[in-house]
């Protein structure tokens, strides 16, 4: 512990012996640092809060149109500090002189873009801050300019939005009208090409809507449905035939005269007429319906032959048999219609497929023309809908206040600089000067080897030190030293006084701005 104490005393002695160096270095560092701080212009901040409300008379476009409320808020947020608005602000606040060139305008806009910040607090509430510190202006002018920039920005923004909404609607309508005219022209060209292509290949392109591939696909889908319906109808017809075969055509009623002899013959005549109708429609004897009807005719002939041997009672027509016969006729008609439709679809598919195989280029070209027409038609219809939407929004903005801009908090008037913190910087420079002077004296003592005590000399040389001679100070020397101490104290006091004077000047300057 004594060794550390001795080392501290030695270091303190080495610094004290070079006290004038400490004072000179401290003055140099402080003067340079305070000059640097003085060259930094004061920066003044101003804040304001702005409410931008969209009058939602019309609902937002579900497709995300460019004129929806949410999109308008985002657009306002981006254009608040646009280069066009900032150029107007620079001209209004005097940052741009009359007749300024493009380079000066770009410089002023860049400075304002760095100085102005827009912080969204909510969807439609914005906090705007401006930080101004122009070195060529006084503090009062910088403070006035900070709030003036926000005032001018809000005014320019309000005027621009009130005019811009209507201008945007008109420009949007002009753009959409031009796009619709282009799509309509292209659509008519495609229609003319398709009509000419169909006229040139009238025998190779089947009729109907859609391309050949689409018609084949639709026919196959319908054919699948008909197959399932035909299976069900044939099953129902087979059930009806079985029930009819098991049901007698007449019933014997005792005590009644034989009046039913003509019933079987009438049914036989009806069945023969139906067989003639089937053959006239082109059905051959191998057709399942023709085979079933022939079997029914044979059974009816046998019943007609037995009707001549009637007994004591009379024969009457069986109502159940008549009902089943009518049901079977209806199901036969359904099966016949389904078979006819199936044959027609099969023929259409075969014909279209054959045409595509024989003329693949024609089918592909026709598909391409139809696809191009469909795409242009969809774009045309979409543009028509967008134009109507924009037109309605333009009417709303013309007849009502579509955008409401309200100043929640006006721009604040700064009374003190936000930066730099001069009192803190002045203090830090003073401490740095004093520390730099002490460090310089201590470093010089380490470079210039000297021995403050006999023990230190003995350790450095390795030789015993017999003794040391104490300095004897005469009275004249005391007077001279006392005078130098006064000078040293005066130099240090002057440094601290200058520091205090700078602090007082800083606070006086702030008071003048307020």
CA–CA distance, 426 with 428 (Å, rounded to integer): 5
**C-alpha count within 13 angstroms, C-beta hemisphere, residue 93:** 28
User: What is the band of 495 on the pLDDT scale with cuts at 50, 70, 90?
Assistant: very high
Max mean pLDDT among 53-57, 284-288, 402-406, 449-453 falls in 284-288
Q: Which pLDDT belongs to residue 255? A: 47
Predicted confidence (pLDDT) per residue in 213-236, tens digit:
677 788 888 888 988 898 888 888
Residues above pLDDT 90, as percent of the chain: 10
Predicted confidence (pLDDT) per residue in 337-366, tens digit:
888 888 888 888 887 777 666 666 666 777
Q: Which pLDDT belongs to residue 32? A: 95
Using DSSP bridges, classify how beta strands 403-409 and 44-54 pair: parallel, antiparallel or unpaired.
antiparallel
Q: Is the pLDDT of residue 422 over 50?
A: yes
Q: Largest Cα–Cα distance in the chain?
A: 183
CA–CA distance, 387 with 176 (Å, rounded to integer): 6
CA–CA distance, 366 with 149 (Å, rounded to integer): 65
Q: 17-26, 132-141, 184-193, 251-260: which has the minimum mean pLDDT?
A: 251-260
What is the C-alpha end-to-end distance of the chain, expressed in Å? 57
Q: Is the pLDDT of residue 148 over 60?
A: yes
CA–CA distance, 350 with 511 (Å, rounded to integer): 100
Domain ranges of the chain: 2-40+420-513, 44-181+384-409, 212-380
Q: Is the pLDDT of residue 284 over 70?
A: yes
Q: Which pLDDT belongs to residue 337? A: 87
Q: Which pLDDT belongs to residue 426? A: 92
Which helix (H) or strand (E) segment is 120 a member of? strand 116-120
Predicted confidence (pLDDT) per residue in 98-112, tens digit:
777 888 888 888 888
User: What is the band of 67 on the pLDDT scale with cuts at 50, 70, 90?
Assistant: very low
Q: Which pLDDT belongs to residue 125? A: 82
Q: Which pLDDT belongs to residue 57? A: 46
Q: Which pLDDT belongs to residue 33? A: 94
Residue with tokens 């859609």: 210
Q: Which pLDDT belongs to residue 26? A: 93
User: What is the band of 331 on the pLDDT scale with cuts at 50, 70, 90?
Assistant: confident
Question: Which of 147, 173, 159, 174 has its CA nearest to residue 84?
Answer: 159
User: What is the band of 66 on the pLDDT scale with cuts at 50, 70, 90?
Assistant: very low
Q: Does domain 212-380 have CATH number 1.10.287?
A: yes
Q: What is the mean pLDDT of residues 3-13?
A: 72
Q: Which pLDDT belongs to residue 312? A: 44
What is 357-393 written as a DSSP string? HH-HHHHHHHHHHHHHHHHHHHHHHHHHHHHHHHHHH
Q: What is the mean pLDDT of residues 506-511?
A: 79
Contact 372, 190 (CB under 8 A): yes
**C-alpha count within 13 angstroms, C-beta hemisphere, residue 371:** 9
Max mean pLDDT among 164-173, 369-378, 459-468 falls in 369-378
pTM recorded for the entire structure: 0.47
Question: Which of 359, 324, 334 has its CA nearest to residue 202?
Answer: 359
Q: Is the pLDDT of residue 285 over 50?
A: yes
User: What is the band of 54 on the pLDDT scale with cuts at 50, 70, 90?
Assistant: low
User: What is the band of 257 on the pLDDT scale with cuts at 50, 70, 90?
Assistant: very low
Q: What is the mean pLDDT of residues 285-300?
A: 78
CA–CA distance, 27 with 31 (Å, rounded to integer): 6
Q: 51-55, 276-280, 394-398, 452-456: which has the minimum mean pLDDT?
A: 394-398
Q: Which pLDDT belongs to residue 378? A: 87
User: What value does the mean pLDDT of the chain take?
Assistant: 77
What is 406-452 written as a DSSP string? EEEEPPP---S-SB--HHHHHHHHHHHHHHHHHHHHHHHHHHS---S
CA–CA distance, 46 with 24 (Å, rounded to integer): 42
Q: Which pLDDT belongs to residue 90? A: 85
Q: Which residue has the higher pLDDT, 151 or 14?
A: 151
User: What is the band of 30 on the pLDDT scale with cuts at 50, 70, 90?
Assistant: very high
Contact 386, 62 (CB under 8 A): no
Q: Which pLDDT belongs to residue 264? A: 64
- At residue 268, the 3 state secondary structure works out as helix
**C-alpha count within 13 angstroms, C-beta hemisphere, residue 311:** 6
Predicted confidence (pLDDT) per residue in 448-483, tens digit:
666 666 666 677 677 787 777 776 667 887 788 788
CA distances (Å), 29 to each of 210, 431, 497, 501, in order? 90, 10, 16, 17
Q: What is the mean pLDDT of residues 391-402?
A: 58
Contact 36, 133 (CB under 8 A): no
Q: Which pLDDT belongs to residue 276? A: 73
Exposed e or buried b per residue across 332-348, where buried means at least 16 C-beta atoms within 10 angstroms of its C-beta: bebbbebbeebeebeeb
Q: Which pLDDT belongs to residue 316? A: 63
């Amino acid at each position: 512990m004594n060794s550390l104490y001795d080392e501290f005393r030695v270091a303190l002695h080495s610094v004290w012996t070079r006290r004038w160096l400490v004072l000179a270095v401290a003055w140099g560092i402080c003067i340079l640092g305070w000059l640097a701080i003085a060259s930094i212009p004061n920066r003044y901040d101003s804040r304001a809060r702005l409410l931008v409300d969209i009058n939602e008379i019309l609902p937002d476009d579900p497709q995300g149109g460019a004129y929806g409320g949410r999109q308008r808020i985002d657009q306002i947020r981006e254009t608040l500090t646009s280069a066009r608005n900032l150029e107007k602000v620079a001209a209004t606040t005097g940052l741009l002189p009359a007749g300024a060139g493009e380079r000066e305008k770009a410089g002023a806009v860049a400075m304002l873009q760095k100085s102005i910040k827009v912080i969204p607090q909510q969807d439609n509430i914005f906090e705007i801050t401006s930080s101004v510190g122009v070195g060529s202006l006084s503090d009062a002018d910088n403070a006035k300019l900070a709030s003036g920039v926000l005032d001018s920005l809000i005014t320019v923004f309000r005027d621009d939005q009130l005019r811009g909404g209507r201008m945007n609607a008109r420009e949007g309508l002009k753009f959409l009208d031009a796009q619709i005219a282009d799509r309509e022209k292209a659509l008519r060209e495609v229609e003319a090409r398709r009509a000419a292509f169909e006229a040139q290949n009238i025998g190779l392109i089947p009729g109907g809507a859609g391309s050949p591939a689409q018609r084949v696909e639709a026919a196959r889908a319908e054919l699948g449905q008909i197959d399932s319906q035909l299976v069900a109808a044939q099953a129902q017809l087979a059930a009806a035939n079985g029930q009819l075969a098991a049901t007698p055509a007449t019933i014997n009623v005792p005590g009644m005269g034989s009046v039913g002899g003509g019933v079987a013959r009438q049914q036989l005549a009806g069945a023969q007429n139906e067989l003639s109708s089937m053959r006239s429609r082109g059905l051959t004897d191998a057709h399942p319906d023709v085979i079933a009807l022939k079997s029914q005719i044979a059974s009816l002939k046998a019943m007609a032959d037995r009707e001549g041997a009637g007994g004591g009672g009379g024969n009457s027509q069986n109502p159940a048999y008549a009902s089943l016969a009518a049901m079977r006729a209806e199901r036969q008609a359904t099966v016949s219609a389904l078979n006819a439709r199936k044959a027609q679809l099969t023929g259409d598919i075969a014909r279209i497929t054959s045409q595509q195989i024989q003329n693949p280029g024609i089918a592909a070209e026709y598909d391409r023309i139809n696809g191009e027409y469909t795409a242009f038609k969809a774009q045309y219809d979409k543009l028509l809908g967008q134009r109507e939407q924009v037109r309605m929004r333009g009417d709303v903005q013309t007849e009502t206040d579509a955008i409401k801009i309200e100043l929640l908090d006006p721009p604040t008037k700064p009374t003190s600089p936000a930066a730099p913190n001069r009192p803190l910087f002045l203090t830090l420079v003073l401490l740095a000067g004093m520390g730099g002077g002490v460090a310089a004296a201590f470093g010089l003592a380490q470079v210039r080897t000297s021995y403050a005590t006999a023990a230190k000399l003995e350790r450095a040389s390795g030789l015993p030190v017999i003794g040391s001679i104490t300095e004897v100070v005469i009275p004249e020397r005391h007077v001279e030293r006392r005078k130098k101490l006064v000078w040293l104290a005066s130099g240090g006091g002057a440094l601290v006084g200058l520091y205090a004077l700078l602090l007082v000047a800083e606070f006086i300057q702030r008071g003048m701005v307020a």
